[in-house]
Amino acid sequence: MTTSRSQQKESARGLSLSLTFDAPVADSFDAIATQKGIAAWWTPLVRGAVAQGREFQLGFKGLDETIRIRVDESRKPQIVRWTVLEHSGLPEWNGTSIVFALTELVAQKTTLHFRHNGLLPQLDCYSDCRAGWNHFLGSLAKVAAGSPGSPF
């Protein structure tokens, strides 16, 4: 699997990452927009409906932490937008938005433009969260390409 990080940016809006990898855009979308997909790359503890207008919750084995997320938009195969309603361990995530925008470059190759709006460099968690997103987005790319991911 070929993966390249074409860009990582800090902005006044939040963290932005771009990642290009060998996977069909439809498979990449499914990795982001389904319970099975999220369980394979982020955490296997996913409850609720991962569908537009619905909420789901993530848990992390060994941690007393949960993240409750609302799916604001899910338009296959281009975009998924979430709002973090509550993060029990990192309250600075509350009210932030996460955007996954997908583009098919050529058949079997996807570019993911990722933004975590509100995850700002001045937050205490920023450095750890940036490292976490780098890890989990790499895990997402593996899952989209049909390989095992590296979830929590």
Q: Residue 9 above 50 pLDDT?
A: yes
Q: Is residue 138 part of a domain?
A: yes
Q: pLDDT tens digits for 10-45?
A: 557 999 999 999 999 999 999 999 999 999 999 999
Per the structure, the complete domain to which residue 105 belongs is given by 3-144
Q: Is residue 28 part of a domain?
A: yes
> How many domains, the chain?
1
Q: pLDDT tens digits for 37-79?
A: 999 999 999 999 999 999 999 999 999 999 999 999 999 999 9
Q: Is residue 120 part of a domain?
A: yes
The CATH code of the domain that includes 132 is: 3.30.530.20
Q: Is residue 117 part of a domain?
A: yes
Q: Is residue 149 part of a domain?
A: no
Contacts 24+ apart (CB under 8 A), 27-31: 27/144, 27/145, 27/146, 28/77, 28/102, 28/110, 28/112, 28/140, 28/141, 28/144, 29/76, 29/77, 29/78, 29/80, 29/102, 30/144, 31/140, 31/143, 31/144
Q: pLDDT tens digits for 106-126?
A: 889 999 999 999 999 999 999
Q: Is residue 151 part of a domain?
A: no
Q: Is residue 133 part of a domain?
A: yes
Q: Is residue 150 part of a domain?
A: no
